[in-house]
Amino acid sequence: MLHLVLFLVFGAICVAGAINLLVQSHPISSALSLVVVMASLAVEYLLLGAEFVAAVQVIVYAGAVMVLFVFVIMLLNAGVEERTKGSRVALILGIPGVLAGGLLVAWVLIERTGTATVGLGALPGFPKTIGNLLFHDFLLPFEVTSVLVLIAIMGAVVLASRPEPKNPEKES
Amino acid sequence: MNPTLPVGADYVRILPEIVLSIFGMAIMVLDPLVDEKKSQQLLGGLGLIGTLAGLVSTWIMAQSPGFAFWNMVQVDGFSVFFHVLVIAIALVLILTSYEYMAVQQLRAGEYYGLILFGLVGMCLMSSAVELVLIFISLEISSISTYILAGFRRRSATSSESSLKYFLLGSFATAFFLYGVAMMFGATGSTNIDAISAALNSGKVPLLAYVAMALMFVGLGFKVAAAPFHIWTPDVYEGAPAPVVGFMSTAPKAAAFAVLLRIIFEANAPGRFWLIWLSAVLSMTLGNVAALVQDNVKRLLAYSSIAHAGYILVAFAAKPELGAPAVMFYTAAYAAMNVGAFAVVSHLANENERYVTLENYAGLGRSSPILAGTLTIFLISLIGIPITGGFFAKFYVFSAALQSNLVWLTIIGVINSAIGAYYYLKIIVVMYMREAREEVPVLPIPLALRAALALTLAATVYLGVVPGRMLTFVQQSAQQLLQAEHTSAREQVGNAAVPRATQ
């Protein structure tokens, strides 16, 4: 029972943080609401019995990634973002569409599985199991991820480097 | 018990990916060491050797079919086909880029490196039988194309193209990933064989329908099928012309390979109307919008949406008829579209100045060779006999007819007729209209000649003697559809599987 209550409470905090992220107009406020989302997600993972994922969530996302986010925002000295009206179509079709899609998925999930809570450690979420999966069964995806990261770095180098205008007079 | 370490056969079965990564890294390391003037030739040449080595290693890989890395990767006729296809497309792309990069004065190093790394992703997409690996390789292929699209750094449209592609592409990937998660929830596995077993064993969970729909959104974006096609014209207009030829064929072919595996091998539930609707929308929207374009790159962008629609028609057909038709179509489309873009990128000249339809006026006189080759590619895109495009369309529509999809076939044929108009319009402009302004046509360098000859040969070969290709795709489609029966046996000790006959 306590599990379910905690789960619902942190779920509500998570959703509230996500909405606040979108509503805030200053990048720093958005980034800090993202921290709230990440941290409450970590608690949700913990309640689902995935203690390793929860720890990683806190260390990597709420910790490292968010620090980078905040650093970049502060270095760029980003100010309050401009408010645009946004497109009407998005407003008229988008919000009901998202609501309908969300309700459909929620209905399917409840219909199929019912609500149940999982005790801490009831599912195989131990670091040992995960390590075995990651470095044995999923060894190839794990290694291939390095190519993905390499491409991302190359992309950053290509797109962020200063273009060299060879023929300045032809530049338009 | 599975062996704890991968054995030799495991590595042989991903040999093309290993070879391509090694060449990609070699280019990356050599780039700062070589003189900038020579880098174009040297690194491009290295890229070319890399793709050739990739083809050779694909041949070696084809000698040992089976599973590798604990059911992550499956080598069969199907994956070999798509390996050869995407690597060959990249080979032609590199041949085309040689001159293009010099004319546009772009940096060479990362460009060729990214092509090879992107190929790693596309190759893995075609052989992966595990949704997690498919997702990662899909990301490799997508991210490298996002970057390649933005390579014309001095042009604002190129940056726009890259950014739009990136933002919408990430959004679509999220849909795919959500679908994968749902599929895991529905079947308890991310392995395609296991999913197929779970879905075929009685009642299909409702969640699997949602998962299927979400994954289709993600992959539909990658193949530019309507209604997920909005990005296509803008991205194709801004990206470098040879890259457009590449990204309208190679990542698409890989995405179609994934769709084939998910839809046919896993026997995805509730796919029919989803695909039917998307096919009709893609064909109609693509062809109708192409009618009013006067930028050749935009026109070909809409045409590629339409062609994605034709391919989707085959997905609605019966698996044993649809799968070979899809494979044949992707190959034929790759040959003609890469060829057409090779011509476009040669004519584009510095800063891609000459890409409107008007610039093609009088080309028949100023450069008969280019006009002639482009005409053949366009004829093939229309689907007129003696070209690959004809048989591709023929197999798709006959597969649809034999599956009793009469209405879909009628809509498809009407659309082909509409499509003929705008392709013929380019031919008419080239031969019958006088040039209003002088468009300089550079001499055609050797590499581009080779690229044009290769694509032309492939287009005509598929149009004149499609028999061998057809038997091959039918065999490999057969292997794909029977895969779930064999995998159960091989799951026991897959790494030590003896060399099965191909």
Q: What is the per-residue pLDDT across B348-379, written as a single tens digit (0 to 9) for each? A: 888 888 888 888 988 888 889 999 999 999 99
Q: How far is A32 from chain B (nearest CA, A)?
A: 22
CATH value of A1-79 in 1.10.10.10, 1.20.120.1200, 1.10.443.10, 3.30.2090.10:
1.20.120.1200
Q: What is the distance between the alpha carbons of residues B152 and B141, in angstroms, rounded to a whole number?
A: 19
| Interface residue B153 vs chain A (CB under 8 A) | yes
- Residue B114 with chain A: CB contacts under 8 Å: 151, 154-155, 158
Q: What is the distance between the alpha carbons of residues B310 and B315, in angstroms, rounded to a whole number?
A: 9
- Residue B21 with chain A: CB contacts under 8 Å: 147
| Interface residue B133 vs chain A (CB under 8 A) | yes
pTM as predicted = 0.91
Contact A140 B69 (CB under 8 A): yes
Q: Could you tell me if residue B340 is inside a domain?
A: yes
List the single residue in B with minimal CA-CA distance to A161: B153
Pure H helices in B264-295: 272-290
Q: Could you tell me if residue B366 is inside a domain?
A: yes
In the stretch 155-184 of chain B, residues with CB closer than 8 A to chain A read: 162
| Radius of gyration (C-alpha) of chain B in whole angstroms | 22
Q: What is the distance between the alpha carbons of residues B183 and B162, in angstroms, rounded to a whole number?
A: 31
User: B13: which residues sit within 8 A by CB, 6+ positions away?
Assistant: B61, B64, B66, B67, B68, B69, B73, B75, B127
User: Taking the CB of residue A100, how many other CB atoms lie within 10 A of it?
Assistant: 10
Q: What is the pLDDT of residue B374?
A: 94
Q: What is the pLDDT of residue A171?
A: 40
Model confidence pLDDT, tens digit, residues A111-121: 765 445 455 55
CB-based contact B30:B43 (threshold 8 Å): yes
| Interface residue B206 vs chain A (CB under 8 A) | yes
Q: What is the distance between the alpha carbons of residues A22 and B138, in angstroms, rounded to a whole number?
A: 28
Q: In terms of DSSP bridges, do strands B73-75 and B66-68 run parallel, antiparallel, or are they unpaired? A: antiparallel
User: Long-range CB contacts (< 8 A, 24+ apart) of A53-62?
Assistant: A53/A125, A53/A130, A62/A35, A62/A38
Q: Could you tell me if residue B66 is inside a domain?
A: yes
Q: How many structural domains is chain B composed of?
A: 1
User: B318: which residues sit within 8 A by CB, 6+ positions away?
Assistant: B399, B402, B403
| Interface residue B14 vs chain A (CB under 8 A) | yes
- Residue A158 with chain B: CB contacts under 8 Å: 107, 110, 114, 147, 150-151
Q: What is the pLDDT of residue B439?
A: 81
Q: Could you tell me if residue B459 is inside a domain?
A: yes
| Interface residue A116 vs chain B (CB under 8 A) | no
- Nearest by CB to residue B21, choosing from A139, A147, A163, is A147
| Interface residue A164 vs chain B (CB under 8 A) | yes
| Interface residue B205 vs chain A (CB under 8 A) | yes
CB-based contact B292:B222 (threshold 8 Å): no
Q: Which residues of chain B have pLDDT under 70?
A: 1-3, 483-502
Q: What is the pLDDT of residue B501?
A: 35
Q: Could you tell me if residue B238 is inside a domain?
A: yes
Q: What is the pLDDT of residue B36?
A: 76
Q: What is the pLDDT of residue B496?
A: 36
List the single residue in A with minimal CA-CA distance to B163: A159
- Residue B73 with chain A: CB contacts under 8 Å: 140
Contact A140 B72 (CB under 8 A): yes
Contact B207 A164 (CB under 8 A): no
Q: What is the distance between the alpha carbons of residues A106 and A11, in angstroms, rounded to a whole number?
A: 14
At B60, is the secondary structure helix, strand, or coil? helix
At B295, is the secondary structure helix, strand, or coil? strand
- Nearest by CB to residue A139, choosing from B69, B154, B205, is B69
Q: Which residues span the domain enclosing B299?
A: 9-481
Q: How far is B378 from chain A (nearest CA, A)?
A: 32
| Cα A119–Cα A125–Cα A126 angle in degrees, nearest 5 | 115
CB-based contact B254:B141 (threshold 8 Å): yes
| Interface residue A106 vs chain B (CB under 8 A) | no
Q: What is the pLDDT of residue A120?
A: 54
- Residue A157 with chain B: CB contacts under 8 Å: 110
- Nearest by CB to residue B147, choosing from A109, A158, A167, is A158
In the stretch 129-158 of chain A, residues with CB closer than 8 A to chain B read: 136-141, 144-145, 147-148, 150-152, 154-155, 157-158
| Interface residue A87 vs chain B (CB under 8 A) | no
Q: What is the pLDDT of residue A166?
A: 55
Contact B206 A145 (CB under 8 A): no
Q: Could you tell me if residue B491 is inside a domain?
A: no
- Nearest by CB to residue A163, choosing from B69, B120, B154, is B154
User: Residue A71 forms beta bridges with which residues?
Assistant: none
Which of residues A139 and A85 earns the better pLDDT score? A139
At B74, is the secondary structure helix, strand, or coil? strand
Which ipTM was obtained for this model? 0.87
**Domain extents in chain A:** 1-79, 125-160
User: Taking the CB of residue B385, how many other CB atoms lie within 10 A of it?
Assistant: 12
